[in-house]
Amino acid sequence: MRKRRLILPAIPLGIAAIVLAGCAVTATPAATTGDTTATSDTATTETSASTSVGASAEAILAANENATVVRDDEWSDADAVDIELTGDGAETTASGVAVEGTTVTISEAGVYRLAGSLEGSVVVSAPDDAQVVLILDGVDISNSDGPAVNVITADDVAISLAEGTTNTLADASAYADDADANAALYSSADLTITGTGTLTVEGNGNDGITSTDDLAILSGTISVSAVDDALRGKDSLSIEGGTITLDAGGDALKSDNDEEETRGYILIEGGTVDATATDDGLDATTDIVVTGGALGVAAEGDGLHADASLAISGGAVVVSESYEALEGVDIFIEGGEIDLTASDDGINAAGGTETAAGGGMADTGQTLTISGGTLVVDAGGDGLDSNGSLTITGGTTTVFGPTESDNGALDANGAFTVSGGTLLAVGSSGMAVSPGADSAQAWLAALASGSEGDSVELVDSSGATVASFTAEKTFQSVVFSSAEIVDGAAYTVTVNGETAATVTEGIATEGGMGGPGGGTGEGPGGGQRP
């Protein structure tokens, strides 16, 4: 049955965080830390990353179908019956288990403890209302003809990793295009993975772990390599805890139900996830929500890609390599520590109802909203890009944008407003954009040039430094907004102690081009203050 989600306490990873110390804006790498305390039933991972469900994240979750999860208190290992795998078969006294050659079939609800090795498969073919729990107590299952574990029918299935054990699942090297099951661990029922042991999954022919319903990971040390997707929950994919390492030839984490708008989502609430992907790190047909945990991603495609909404309200998110680091129709940054690296856009609010050509310069209704957290972006294309509006109301945002003039550190087709928080955007000058005239918080825009490693300061008329940073790449434009900036006041930008520009608050730079919501020298609707 479908159960209300449980938001677990915090879990962590290290990322490059931006810290405001006095008036300085400094990029500081954080160390990776973590401490896991294991019990016989579950694992609690404690780290420095916070868990927080912001208003937007909460609203997105409330609009989605609750995931099915088998909790540890719903079954007892005291009820387990033993299945001893013997290499080419199995031995058991359980009435609900049949052994035919190298295939072990479980046909009744219950708790089953598996140990030993098998050159074959374990199949679950139980009634549609059955709950089946498989305790993996040191197993090595390899099947050259299909999945190592194949759940054909059941209501809910849980895989529990016994404390202190190492377990391995490996499947066939190839599948037919019309194969019913095509992952090393495949389930046609809701699937939960829990326990304190270790699981290694080799998806040799396609996916690593797949559920055509909900896939939930509560705990355990899990390593998955796959020629296609590493983890796939068609209806939903949720992670509450555990230490998870993923290496995918396709997407590392995927949910792809495109027929029901309340499913097809990914939720990260806790745990430590280290993912490498040839396609996207996270790919959801609907939404992605991160409320806690530590997520590290390197992807040749997008880091996190949602066809609908994407919200980060807590935890640590590091995208160390990507084409676009975050992409979604409506993107909300509400909290957490976020470090993004992209060869193209760092954050891109796009998709949805926009035209196939990308909407041109028109506002096509997408939103990018930053209300909290610490965000660092290193982008080869646009740093923050919205085909609709860009709104900043809080948090600390630092963007090291492009060095080429065909993109900008900031880009919005619609309104671009800043009413709180701290914004530093450094990049090229050809497409430089500054906040719009409707911004409630004061801002500066300067054409000032420098190189990687240069020391940059923003100084007020009294000679006091209001902000400083070290450039991470070549730049020609600086935009800064914080509560320290005074309406209409004059400021000087220095590079390595030498004056590079003198600017007045609220006046856009000359020569830039941009959308109607941002302040530019030549673009329509330039945003200098009246």
Q: What is the pLDDT of residue 427?
A: 94
Residue in this structure with the two tokens 């390595």, named with its chain if needed: 496
Q: What is the pLDDT of residue 525?
A: 33
Q: In terms of DSSP bridges, do strands 183-187 and 265-268 run parallel, antiparallel, or are they unpaired?
A: unpaired
151 CB contacts (<8 Å, ≥6 apart)?
A: 123, 124, 132, 157, 186, 187, 188, 189, 191
CB 229 within 8 A of CB 251: yes
Query: Per-residue pLDDT for 38 more than 80?
Result: no
Which contiguous run of DSSP H or E holds residue 63?
Answer: helix 55-63
What band does 501 get if pLDDT is binned at 50, 70 and 90?
very high
Query: Per-residue pLDDT for 20 more than 90?
Result: no
463 CB contacts (<8 Å, ≥6 apart)?
A: none
What band does 355 get if pLDDT is binned at 50, 70 and 90?
very low
pLDDT digits (tens, 9 = 90+) for 399-429: 999 999 889 999 999 999 999 999 999 999 9
Q: In terms of DSSP bridges, do strands 490-495 and 374-379 run parallel, antiparallel, or are they unpaired?
A: unpaired
Interatomic CA distance for residues 252 and 190, integer angstroms: 19
What per-residue string of b and e applies to 220-248 under the rule 16 or more CB within 10 Å gives b?
A: bbbbbbbbbbbbbbbbbbbbbbbbbbbbb
Q: What is the pLDDT of residue 354?
A: 54
CB 449 within 8 A of CB 499: no
Q: What is the pLDDT of residue 146?
A: 98
Query: Per-residue pLDDT for 516 more than 90?
Result: no
Interatomic CA distance for residues 355 and 345, integer angstroms: 19
Query: Per-residue pLDDT for 11 more than 70?
Result: no
Overall residue count recorded for the chain in this entry: 530
pLDDT digits (tens, 9 = 90+) for 165-203: 999 999 999 999 999 999 999 999 999 999 999 999 999
Q: What is the pLDDT of residue 9?
A: 30
What band does 372 get if pLDDT is binned at 50, 70 and 90?
very high
Q: What is the pLDDT of residue 31?
A: 32
What average pLDDT score do residues 207-217 get? Answer: 98
Closest alpha carbon to 314 in 293, 291, 296: 291
What band does 360 get if pLDDT is binned at 50, 70 and 90?
low
What band does 515 get if pLDDT is binned at 50, 70 and 90?
very low
Q: What is the pLDDT of residue 352?
A: 82
Query: Per-residue pLDDT for 12 more than 90?
Result: no
Q: What is the pLDDT of residue 529?
A: 52
Q: What dihedral do alpha carbons 332, 335, 339, 345 form, nearest 10°? A: 10
Query: Per-residue pLDDT for 517 more than 60?
Result: no
Sign, CA dihedral 234-237-243-248, equals: positive
* Residue 33 or residue 417, greater confidence: 417
81 CB contacts (<8 Å, ≥6 apart)?
A: 92, 93, 94, 97, 110, 111, 112, 113
15 CB contacts (<8 Å, ≥6 apart)?
A: 29, 30, 296, 316, 317, 318, 337, 338, 339, 376
Instruction: For residue 380, give Cα distances in angstroms to 154, 321, 339.
Output: 48, 11, 14
| 450: β partners | 475
Query: Per-residue pLDDT for 249 more than 50?
Result: yes
Tokens found for residue 279: 């396609």
DSSP 3-state of 61: helix
Query: In which region does residue 472 sit, left (phi positive, over 0), alpha (psi from -120 to 50) or beta (all else)?
Result: alpha
Number of helices followed by number of strands (H, E) in the chain: 1, 50
Q: What is the pLDDT of residue 431?
A: 82
What average pLDDT score do residues 119-130 get? Answer: 98
What band does 357 get if pLDDT is binned at 50, 70 and 90?
very low
Q: What is the pLDDT of residue 509?
A: 82
Q: What is the pLDDT of residue 7?
A: 30
The alpha carbon of residue 213 and the mean position of all alpha carbons in its chain are separated, in whole angstroms, by: 21
Q: What is the pLDDT of residue 405?
A: 86
**Maximum Cα interatomic distance, the chain, rounded to a whole number of Å:** 86
Q: What is the pLDDT of residue 10?
A: 33
Interatomic CA distance for residues 349 and 376, integer angstroms: 17
What band does 24 get if pLDDT is binned at 50, 70 and 90?
very low
Interatomic CA distance for residues 442 and 307, integer angstroms: 34
What average pLDDT score do residues 90-119 get? Answer: 97
Query: Per-residue pLDDT for 22 more than 60?
Result: no
Closest alpha carbon to 130 in 190, 52, 77, 90: 190
By mean pLDDT, which of 10-19, 49-58, 255-264, 446-455 is the weakest? 10-19
Q: What is the pLDDT of residue 528?
A: 58
Work out the percent of the chain whose per-residue pLDDT is above 70.
Answer: 85
DSSP 3-state of 354: coil
CB 274 within 8 A of CB 242: no
* Average model confidence (pLDDT) across the chain: 88
The upper half-sphere exposure of residue 74, i.e. CA atoms within 13 Å in the direction of its Cβ, equals 18
| Continuous H helices in 68-123 | none
What band does 430 get if pLDDT is binned at 50, 70 and 90?
confident
